[in-house]
């Protein structure tokens, strides 16, 4: 089994925040692949089923971002999973909007959700880093990620969620390079990323 975790904060107040793009992506995966209805478990919401032939458990921790590791660790203990079985989808301010990179292990780059997970299970898990851009000033980062995506960004956000959900079977199967390449090419073909055209956004990429 693979544990696919989307990071975010619970409740309608945070639903459209940049910090909640992890929630948005796993919602899209559940919908596209016809997974079971979300139910409360492991201090969060879970849905399970097959994605690309792989058995997966989707988890949206409801412990708030800074305590995400508590929900993740509980689910992993119950299913006797290893860190290598975990994939975390999260916002990344150090990537331009709509850019996606897959990374195994490493640091947290100041992301509180990743820091919490690392404190509970160690750092040897995979991350799908989804670019949301940078406000340009470090002091504004917390305010920036807790703001909703502006209307100008909604088209690429929807395309990103759709494209990742279409190819989620690859990351569930551990084919990270192929997953990243297919997502990149699809978003480039749709005109949202590429050397000559980046998505219009209220934020400038770093």
Domain count of the fold of the chain? 1
Using an 8 Å Cβ cutoff, are 108 and 60 in contact? no
Exposed / middle / buried, residue 181 (Cβ in 10 Å: 0-12, 13-18, 19+): middle
Structural domain contains residue 16? yes
**Contact by Cβ (8 Å): 117, 88:** yes
Tell me if 197 is assigned to some domain: no
Q: Is there a domain that residue 185 lies in?
A: yes
Annotated catalytic, 184? no
CATH number for the domain spanning 116: value is 3.40.50.1470
CA gap 192, 149 in Å, rounded: 15
* Sequence-ordered alpha helix ranges (H) in 2-153: 21-32, 68-79, 112-121, 141-145
β-strand partners of 5: 59, 88
Burial class (CB in 10 A: 0-12, 13-18, 19+), 40: exposed
Determine, yes or no, domain membership for 48: yes
Please check whether residue 69 lies inside any domain of the structure: yes
Determine which helix (DSSP H) or strand (DSSP E) holds 156, and give its type and residue range: helix 154-166
- 155 within domain boundaries: yes
Q: Which domain holds residue 97?
A: 2-189
Residue 47 lies in a domain: yes
pLDDT in tens, the chain (206 residues): 999 999 999 999 999 999 999 999 999 999 999 999 999 999 999 999 999 999 999 999 999 999 999 999 999 999 999 999 999 999 999 999 999 999 998 888 789 999 999 999 999 999 999 999 999 999 999 999 999 999 999 999 999 999 999 999 999 999 999 999 999 999 999 999 875 444 444 444 43
Neighbours of 138 (CB within 10 A): 10
Cβ–Cβ < 8 Å for 196, 75: no
- State residue 195's pLDDT score: 54
**Given the residues 19, 33, 90, 111, the one annotated as active site:** 19
Helix (H) or strand (E) holding 5: strand 2-6
């Amino acid at each position: 089994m693979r544990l696919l975790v989307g990071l975010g904060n619970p409740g309608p107040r945070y639903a459209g925040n940049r910090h909640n793009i992890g929630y948005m992506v796993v919602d899209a995966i559940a919908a596209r692949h016809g997974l079971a209805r979300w139910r409360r478990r492991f201090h969060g919401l879970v849905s399970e089923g097959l994605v690309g032939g792989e058995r997966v458990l989707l988890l949206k921790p409801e412990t708030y971002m800074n305590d995400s590791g508590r929900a993740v660790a509980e689910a992993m203990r119950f299913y006797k999973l290893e860190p290598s079985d975990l994939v975390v989808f999260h916002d990344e301010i150090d990537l331009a909007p709509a850019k996606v990179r897959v990374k195994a292990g490493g640091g947290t780059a100041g992301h509180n959700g990743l820091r919490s997970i690392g404190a509970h299970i160690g750092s040897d898990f995979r991350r799908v880093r989804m670019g949301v851009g940078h406000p340009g000033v470090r002091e504004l980062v917390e305010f920036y990620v807790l703001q909703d995506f502006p209307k100008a960004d909604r088209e690429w956000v929807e395309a990103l969620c759709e494209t990742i959900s279409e190819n989620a079977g690859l990351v569930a199967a551990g084919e990270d390079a192929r997953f990243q390449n297919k997502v990149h090419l699809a978003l480039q073909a749709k005109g949202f990323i590429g050397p000559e055209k980046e998505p219009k956004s209220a934020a400038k990429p770093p």
